[in-house]
Structure 1
């Protein structure tokens, strides 16, 4: 949830993009840059732009569900009251699996809504991400305090105390979030209806599932929407690579073809799956964030689109489909200024089990994968025949829960089932929640894409990807996206008058 995946965390090596970009829901959802699209503020109206980007701190309980535990910690948040008018609503942007980016206090569709409605805006960073460190390290023992339920309790306590401190007790509150934070926005409204009056749950996966092969099925359809031959060519390339991996004599050539940092070593099925998922991730990431208008030059989804990748896969001058697949990998490495590709699962295992806040996966990778193992699953396996890749089945993903946190397959399955019992999955019983989703975005398969009731409407946006409605408007936006933003605003306007 990306968020992610820096993405919010801007991982320097591709290995983490595999873990985070697709297991993570939020990361990219919460990256807004200073690129070609400007923010919504008129500079001459601001006395000091720093006021909306200065970090502030809030005292939280470590464990909201244990009255005998009095331990506390400091949670980071941001405020923008530039548009606030007396009596106006309160907007709360929910942080997710990456650092809370203060750019959201200057950019984004929610600020357009805030200006029109006279709202004061807050953004609360998620516990265990960014600078919000509830414990001394990221040991598995400490990660037991990382959960969506604890995060919702953080939101509830923050909302209660901030309302008291700032005289906002009688104001209407609206929760915003994209991807995993979109789920939190919906669940905040569901579980604490007395504290939040409405929610915008963008690209929110509401149904937890251990196995999520539908993700790659949507990738197939999204590639085919550009060119019917594109996913077939990707499939041929992936199958060809799998055949090569069966013969150790090909490893030197594969190392060269994909510019690996060290000679390819395939000693276990996990080694093979890790490498194959890493390469498939080039297509998965681009599909998820296709033309998303984050305004971040050089970030996945801004310049590299489905059209670009399918163009490479169709270019016969590059050689056979396998050679074109390698060309896509080189294109992505160039995009991220990577000198080589680290395809070693052992290196990844070493980094993911580092429990220090200074560790290479502490920006969010270790934390988010823990949440998938302890709450959500969401594993994008190749277990479906209706998708273009081969080689990273569910067993590969589940094994990592054991490797990283000593969480067994049974414990994972039970945890995911409990998540759906607690929140209701698709069968959410609430009101005044709007569910925007993009047709291109693979995550829509776990979201709400049809109206449940008049007060639980879906906004299913053709031609758009993950969290597209959240980003600043652009002259290049599809008409469907522009209308979707307007539709969401009309829902908010109606609900805030009730």
Structure 2
């Protein structure tokens, strides 16, 4: 039963600095691209931006409409018989900086390769159709995206200087799936693939995500960290059960008075925001970040200091307070500036699920982020026909079509960091001699796609070396195997 009379709700217009509150359901490409700008050392502007005409629907000959897909190319290191490398775009804007650092860049240098980066349809500047109309998302799915990349590869291979070159596709997170699936569906076109941190198993209730976060904090945090986390979240839960508790919580957490925290959905928005730091440290961080976070939690509890938060999500600048409101969050998603968010949520609703709930008891965050929190969003954003039945059907089709954790594929290396919560949906054991799994101790999401840094652990550096060896071996780049 929800509390209804704790306060008089005032309706007014709210402007967020950033409207994305629940934890990451598909922000990998944007996050990783930000890192590239500080890491890309070999950046001299010799990258070309190109466009290729694509069919709106590759599988319906009666659909005649076309659109322009953006991609980047760099041929600085190409020499005759060099390999073609394509980094496949995912759920965000593509970055040409992948041609200046990272594992693709190193492979291209070591094998006289040509580098390309594609941009996924409906993301970045590759917009097939007006995405402000939700009906137009029907052309957004992984099969269409794979077909886009296959057409790009065929076009590149039509160049006289590259028509005899081997092709390697590379992807991370969702695009790691795409890389493996492209090799599986088009082995006559793609010779090998790197599938980094790919959650190849579609799953609606992805409760394992927070279980992994729990395990990370138990293993790498301080001895009392998990108990402290449980106590913090249990206290949130208790405070939200009474008018007096809500009043106190608003004072402690600087929550706008207008936030109706008697509403269950708004409470879930609050909890999902509070989980974010723990999620970020596991998905993108390292063991030291987890340990330091635990130490900071301990100090905060000892001295009764409010928890420091990250950049102000749900922040009302003019009132300098947090406004947790589900309906306003939904309206933010619909804003055309956030069309990439709408695109990714649509893919979760129709293909993948990936909803990170608190339904498991093996996590410390209480059970306050339900499956309905996500599934109802699908119908609200995309219409009543995108209901839970449609979500289930999409997930079933995805797993049956691609094979889940056991895709029928060779010459793909599946890499995962064992710190990464997404790894629980990935390939963690060898499928065969020519489809190995590389699990990297204490590494997080997609870290193998980057170049070595001084503070990288040795296991990560060795994994990158092994991945490059496999790709060279599979593409018969024999002249370069000693590098």
Whether TM-score is above 0.5 comes out as yes
Q: CA deviation at 1:258?
A: 2.4
CA spacing shift, 1:317–1:133, aligned 2, 3 Å: closer
CA distance in 2 between partners of 1:135 and 1:246 (Å): 46
Q: Does 1:128 align with 2:122?
A: yes
Counting only pairs closer than 5 Å after superposition, residues 12-411 of structure 1 correspond to structure 2 as 13=17, 15-16=19-20, 18=22, 21-35=24-38, 37=39, 39=41, 41=42, 49-52=44-47, 54-165=48-159, 167-227=161-221, 228-260=223-255, 263-291=258-286, 305-315=289-299, 318-319=302-303, 326-329=306-309, 331=310, 333=312, 340-354=321-335, 359-362=336-339, 364-390=340-366, 391-406=368-383, 407-411=386-390
Q: Judge conservation of contact 2:258–2:323 (CA < 8 Å) in 1.
A: no
Q: Judge conservation of contact 1:312–1:328 (CA < 8 Å) in 2.
A: no
CA distance in 1 between partners of 2:472 and 2:36 (Å): 28
CA distance in 1 between partners of 2:240 and 2:342 (Å): 29
The aligned residue for residue 8 of structure 1 is: none
> Any idea what SS the aligned residue of 1:157 has?
helix
> Any idea what SS the aligned residue of 2:52 has?
strand
Structure 1 residues 86-95 or 223-232, which shifts more? 223-232
Q: CA deviation at 1:261?
A: 5.0
Q: CA deviation at 1:194?
A: 1.0
The match for 2:460 among 481, 485, 491 is 481
The aligned residue for residue 8 of structure 2 is: none
Q: CA deviation at 1:340?
A: 4.6
Bigger CA radius of gyration: 2
Q: Judge conservation of contact 1:32–1:107 (CA < 8 Å) in 2.
A: no
Q: CA deviation at 1:341?
A: 3.5
CA deviations 1:231-255 (Å, max 9, x no partner) are 2211211111011111133334323
Q: CA deviation at 1:405?
A: 1.2
Q: Judge conservation of contact 1:255–1:263 (CA < 8 Å) in 2.
A: no
CA distance in 2 between partners of 1:193 and 1:18 (Å): 38
CA spacing shift, 1:314–1:464, aligned 2, 3 Å: same
The aligned residue for residue 447 of structure 2 is: 468
CA spacing shift, 1:67–1:350, aligned 2, 3 Å: same
Q: Judge conservation of contact 1:230–1:310 (CA < 8 Å) in 2.
A: yes
CA spacing shift, 1:193–1:138, aligned 2, 3 Å: farther
CA deviations 1:269-309 (Å, max 9, x no partner) are 211111111111121122100149xxxxxxxxxxx921231
CA deviations 1:425-458 (Å, max 9, x no partner) are 0111110000110010000000011111110011
Q: How many residues get paired?
A: 455
CA deviations 1:13-65 (Å, max 9, x no partner) are 4541525x234454324433333x452x3x7xxxxx2221x422111111111
CA spacing shift, 1:495–1:337, aligned 2, 3 Å: farther
CA distance in 1 between partners of 2:59 and 2:271 (Å): 41
> Any idea what SS the aligned residue of 1:452 has?
coil
Q: CA deviation at 1:136?
A: 1.9
TM-score, normalisation: structure 1:
0.87
CA distance in 2 between partners of 1:477 and 1:256 (Å): 41
Let me know the Cα RMSD of the aligned residues: 2.2
CA distance in 2 between partners of 1:242 and 1:219 (Å): 20
5+ residue gaps, structure 1: 1-11, 44-48, 293-303
CA distance in 1 between partners of 2:108 and 2:26 (Å): 31
The aligned residue for residue 416 of structure 2 is: 437
CA spacing shift, 1:286–1:262, aligned 2, 3 Å: farther
The aligned residue for residue 301 of structure 1 is: none
CA distance in 2 between partners of 1:305 and 1:342 (Å): 28
CA spacing shift, 1:194–1:147, aligned 2, 3 Å: same
The aligned residue for residue 415 of structure 1 is: 394
Q: Judge conservation of contact 1:29–1:178 (CA < 8 Å) in 2.
A: no
CA spacing shift, 1:159–1:471, aligned 2, 3 Å: same
CA distance in 1 between partners of 2:311 and 2:174 (Å): 25
> Any idea what SS the aligned residue of 1:201 has?
strand
CA distance in 2 between partners of 1:14 and 1:237 (Å): 25
CA spacing shift, 1:161–1:60, aligned 2, 3 Å: same
CA spacing shift, 1:138–1:191, aligned 2, 3 Å: farther
Q: Judge conservation of contact 1:32–1:471 (CA < 8 Å) in 2.
A: no
> Any idea what SS the aligned residue of 1:475 has?
coil
Q: Judge conservation of contact 2:192–2:412 (CA < 8 Å) in 1.
A: yes
> Any idea what SS the aligned residue of 1:34 has?
helix
TM-score, normalisation: structure 2:
0.89
